[in-house]
Chains A and B, each alone.
Chain A
Amino acid sequence: MQQETIKDYSQDGRTFKLRAILALVIVTLVLFILLGRVYFLQVVEYDRYAAISDRNRIQLQPVPPRRGLIYDRNGILLADNQPTFSVTLLREEISNIDETLEALTDLIEISDRDVERFRQRLQQRRRPYETVPLRFRLTEEEIAKISVNYHQLPGVQVEADLIRYYPFGASAVHALGYVGRINERDLETLDPVKYAGTNYVGKLGVERFYEPILHGEVGFRKVETNARGRVLRVLEQQDPTPGADIQLSLDLRLQQFTEKLLEGRRASVVALDPKTGGILALVSTPTYDPNLFVMGISHADYTELQEDLDIPLFNRAVRGGYKPGSTLKPIMGLAAIDSGTVRPDYTIWDPGYYQITPGGRRYRDWRRGGHGRVNLPTAIAQSVNTWYYDVGHRMGNEPMARYLRKFGFGQITALDTPEAITGVLPTAEWKRATLNEPWYPGDSVNMSIGQGFVVVTPLQLAIAANVLANRGQWQQPRLLKGVVETTEEGEVLTLPDIVESRPVPEDVVVTNPSFWDPIIKGMVDVVHGPTGTARRVGQGMQYQMASKTGTAQVVALPDDGRYRPDELSERNRDHALFIAFAPVDDPKIALAIVVENGGGGSSVAAPIARQVMDAWILGEYGDEEEELDDGES
């Protein structure tokens, strides 16, 4: 028994040893597998994991460039950058957005509107690891509150940003445009590298057109961050190149003066410097404050602007399409004599109407009894329709359209008004293509006095006035005076290549330079002649002004051809138009005015022109009462 027990135990012992050794073999094997696994990770896959590890900790952060500033011609700052602090959230680092928002709401003031707009921005497509702003313009106290609680708010950051600020608010907004936050649509066209750190882009106007110059070149910063995305140190930095400052030919004082003159009206004034083609003022009223748009306009503000019947967002100066009316007559006159249709001294008898065929439809002059004998200068000064009906009919569509084109109609000639429209310059082909109708002689008759199919913008009218002022010589119409460049001699203005992007039309060359004389004479007589349509504004004028009034019908006249403004509601009244340049022998300003539903060009538009010119030429910016007058075409 004893023996057996002993034997049993040794048998147990052997079994135990066998199993123990088997266990050791397995243990050794497993440890080698683990070591092999570690070898695989650390040696075989080393490059891959080293790269992931670097990507974890090293981030290439774009450093946005400072946006170039915009000055007026006298160096007044029109578009500035202001430092502001905003609180932003990094989606990738936040597990529960709602909790984070709640925590932030306890710390700083966040309105429901902020949250709503934040969620909108969150929905939009954005670059990975791009922060989404929640609230802008933090106070120092708010920044401090967030900073103290940083550790409890992963993914929350206070970011300093330079935000565009327009110190003169609504002034010149239709020229400057504005910048706004980059949205989904912008992302489709913008270079993702160049705009890596940029949150704002020019949306309209000069801000949009000179975006490549104003934006600058992005810089980069290699930073080491911890797992919560906080930057621990900067490993490498390549500074951004700030955007260039630009100076406009726009004169803020004239701009604001003109804006004031147009206050309460739906109107537009564009004034150019005939020597350079520089735009001195580009006014469209009513207007709006671009600062609202920079950080994203609120729904309520936007609705208000949208629903305003006077459509302040509408840039009348470059997008407003109007019938030019009689303002085209100087060009029609030049077309008639330069095309050889009639001689410069061509004279007609005006009975008060014109008929293409005897007994046919009567095209009426604005004066019922007619003007009697009428030559070209008289036809301009007194705006005699009959003279134009006659030569228009003789010329037909082609010369009229050709000469209008020479003066910039039907095309965009201004360099830096990116929203400008071409208007309509009707030709026989155009009519065939759009209306599927032939060009009738009656169309030529209508076109000769700027009615019918022609549609022009105030900017185009001002440019045409400018070409008239220069007797056919073109200067590129543009807002830009130059790009500010710092050289050894200080700051100089240079013209960027972008100026070449729009070719300047060829000068209007006439067969005989003397052909200009009856045109200019007629335009001078509009104000200075004893029977000129705008002779009242010429009283006491210290310089000579050449001009042309115009009136564009908004509703068709009744059959008797009488215009009864009192019977028409305000919005159905005629538009008042006026083009002018002065002084005649050495033009310093050329302009165009359109006052919607203003009534007549001479009564409403001409006095405004006088005040703008007095201001520019004589420096008289005094607050004069507008002279209201009626009568004329």
Chain B
Amino acid sequence: MVSRDFQRTMPGASTHFRRAPSLWSYTHLDAWLLLLLLMLCGYGLFVLYSASGQDIGDVKRQAIRMGAGFFMLIFLAQVKPRTLVTLTPWLYLFVLALLVAVMLFGVSAKGAQRWIALPGFRFQPSELMKLVLPMAVAAYLVRDQLPPSFKQVIVAVLIMAIPTALIMKQPDLGTSLLIASSGVFVLLLSGLYWRYVLGALAVIGACLPVFWGFMKPYQQQRVLTFLNPESDPLGAGWNIIQSKTAIGSGGLSGKGWLQGTQSQLNFLPESHTDFIIAVIGEELGFYGIAFLLVLYLLIIFRGMILAMRAHDRFARLLAGSITLTFFVYVMVNIGMVTGLLPVVGVPLPMISYGGTSIVTLMSGFGILMSIGAHAQSKQRA
């Protein structure tokens, strides 16, 4: 501790203890995290080839998205956390405006109004909010003393609640859940008093019936189906029964790549998107899933290590939130597919087919790497 304090109180002293700038410090990239992400992406493409019904076109499209994701990662790794703090209020207001625009003039697909169409392409502002919201909460909290006061907590909750409500209205339960949790993580990591945590839990518990009333019928159905999937084996319960069957029938070592009968014969719905882990479970077995979980665990550890190394309060709150939100993806998706949680549209990070989440996740890791790279040089808010 002493030496750390010493280092800290001696501006520029650290540079003397550091080796010559390596490729990694020069590019602001984290070698460990990058390696793990590359492995994850490679594994994802490998599985996707099978899950998409051996559609090489899908694999190519996914690879291009990953490329775009890595581009964003490298780009954002170069942006200093300080810059982000100053930009945050404007970014937050801008994305919020986009969300309102979605509500007013958005494009609908499959019963949900989530997209803004621009000439040539369309995008989901809610994806941007996944990055901007933790930034906004963190930037607001670090303006004052930590742990946050009651008033600060209320304002932070408001910052979170507005976009969450807008996204829930689209409706997009999965994304609003991820966004809300990214804000909550910032609060929790900021040292939120436990009594507030307990109080919040009590309030949420009391509000659950009200919340139920606000849910769309299909969302209610999902919860009911989760509670008793066998009640409607050919209807709403079908997905979960089939995914559990796919995973269960894979056994320890799986039926072999491309050999899964549940996935290849179309018994498994959404096999290349939200339910792709069932394909891994069926074809590559318990070992295949264990390998994936180890990769995820290492990524989360690495992310938290980077967060803990950061001395900037904004940076470490943001880094911690990004890492833990990544974990929420994993938990909700696998929990849903294995029947532990209700069906919520959350993709399996880096593995599920689909563009937006990969780019967003990679962007988050870019910010994380920037924070890691600037950990020593930045000290104060």
Residues of chain A whose beta carbon lies under 8 Å from any beta carbon of chain B = 6, 8-10, 12-13, 15-17, 19-20, 23-24, 27-28, 30-31, 33-35, 37-39, 41-43, 45-46, 48-50, 52-54, 56-57, 92, 224-228, 232
Contacts and interface: CB of A to CB of B under 8 A. Distances in A.
B9 A6 contact: yes
Contact of A226 (B146, B189, B266): B266
Interface in B90-139: none
B249 A20 contact: no
Nearest to A53: B249
A31 B293 contact: yes
Point out which of A12, A37, A38 has the most chain B C-beta atoms below 10 A from its C-beta: A38
12 contacts: A10-B5, A12-B146, A15-B190, A16-B307, A16-B320, A30-B327, A34-B331, A37-B334, A46-B252, A53-B245, A57-B261, A225-B265
Contact of B250 (A30, A42, A227): A42
Given A34-B338, A38-B281, A52 B313 contact: no
Interface in B56-72: none
A34 B245 contact: no
A24 B267 contact: no
Contacts, number: 146
A53 B266 contact: no
Interface stretch (B79-87, B158-166, B167-175, B296-304): B296-304
A168 B37 CA distance: 78
Given A16-B191, A16-B316, A27-B300, A224 B249 contact: no
A50 B189 contact: no
Contacts of B281: 38, 41-42
A42 B252 contact: yes
Contacts of B324: 23, 27
B248 interface: yes
Contact of A20 (B146, B308, B327): B308
A16 B334 contact: no
7 closest A-B pairs by CB? A49-B248, A53-B249, A15-B191, A227-B266, A226-B265, A41-B248, A227-B267
B328 to A, nearest CB: 10
Given A6-B8, A38-B338, A43-B252, A20 B307 contact: yes
Contact of B293 (A8, A15, A34, A224): A34
Contacts of B316: 13, 16
Contact of A38 (B5, B185, B190, B247): B247
Point out which of A6, A8, A23 has the most chain B C-beta atoms below 10 A from its C-beta: A23
A235 B366 CA distance: 51
B3 interface: no
Contact of B313 (A9, A23, A37): A9
Contacts of B250: 42
B251 interface: yes
A223 to B, nearest CB: 12
Interface stretch (B22-30, B208-216, B283-291, B353-361): B283-291
Contact of B251 (A20, A50, A232): A50
A9 B296 CA distance: 31
Contacts of B242: 56
Nearest to A2: B9
Interface string B232-249: 001000000010111111
Contacts of A19: 188-189, 191, 320
A10 B185 CA distance: 20
Contact of A9 (B248, B317, B380): B380
B374 interface: no
Contacts of B300: 24, 27
Contacts of A49: 244-245, 247-249
Contacts of B13: none
Given A19-B188, A27-B327, A226-B265, A12 B247 contact: no
A13 B327 CA distance: 22
Nearest to A41: B248
A154 to B, nearest CB: 10
A23 B297 CA distance: 12
A41 B246 CA distance: 10
Contacts of B286: 38-39, 42-43
Given A20-B304, A34-B338, A27 B189 contact: no
Contacts of A23: 185, 188-189, 304, 320, 324
B251 A43 contact: yes
Contact of B320 (A20, A38, A42): A20
A10 B267 CA distance: 55
B335 interface: yes
B272 interface: no
The B interface is mostly helix, strand or loop, or mixed, namely helix
A37 B244 CA distance: 10
Contact of A42 (B145, B248, B308, B334): B248
B193 to A, nearest CB: 11
B363 interface: no
B372 to A, nearest CB: 14
A50 B248 contact: yes
A56 B380 CA distance: 61
A59 to B, nearest CB: 12
Contacts of A48: 248
Contacts of B335: 34, 37
B262 interface: yes
A53 B246 contact: yes
A48 B327 CA distance: 31
A584 to B, nearest CB: 74
B41 interface: no
A24 B304 contact: yes
B248 A45 contact: yes
Contacts of B147: 15
B36 interface: no
Interface in B318-355: 320, 324, 327, 330-331, 334-335, 338, 340
Contacts of A227: 265-267
A31 B247 CA distance: 17
Contacts of A225: 265
Contacts of B190: 15-16
B32 to A, nearest CB: 16
A13 B286 CA distance: 39
Given A6-B5, A52-B245, 10 more contacts: A20-B307, A23-B320, A27-B324, A33-B340, A42-B248, A45-B248, A46-B249, A53-B245, A53-B249, A53-B261
Nearest to A56: B267
Given A23-B189, A23-B304, A92-B234, A31 B248 contact: no
Given A6-B9, A38-B281, A41-B338, A232 B248 contact: no
Contacts of B313: 9, 12, 16
Contacts of B317: 16
Contact of B146 (A15, A27, A31): A15
A22 to B, nearest CB: 9
Contacts of A24: 300-301, 304
Nearest to A228: B266
A164 B334 CA distance: 55
Contacts of B308: 16-17, 20
Contacts of A228: 266
A6 B340 CA distance: 45
A46 B253 CA distance: 11
Interface in B182-214: 185, 188-191
A13 B320 CA distance: 12
Contacts of B267: 53, 56-57, 226-227
B247 A41 contact: yes
Contacts of A6: 5, 8-9
Nearest to A44: B248
A20 B247 contact: no
B359 to A, nearest CB: 24
Contact of A34 (B244, B251, B266, B334): B334
Contact of B189 (A16, A38, A42, A232): A16
Nearest to A10: B5
A232 B265 contact: yes
Contacts of B246: 53
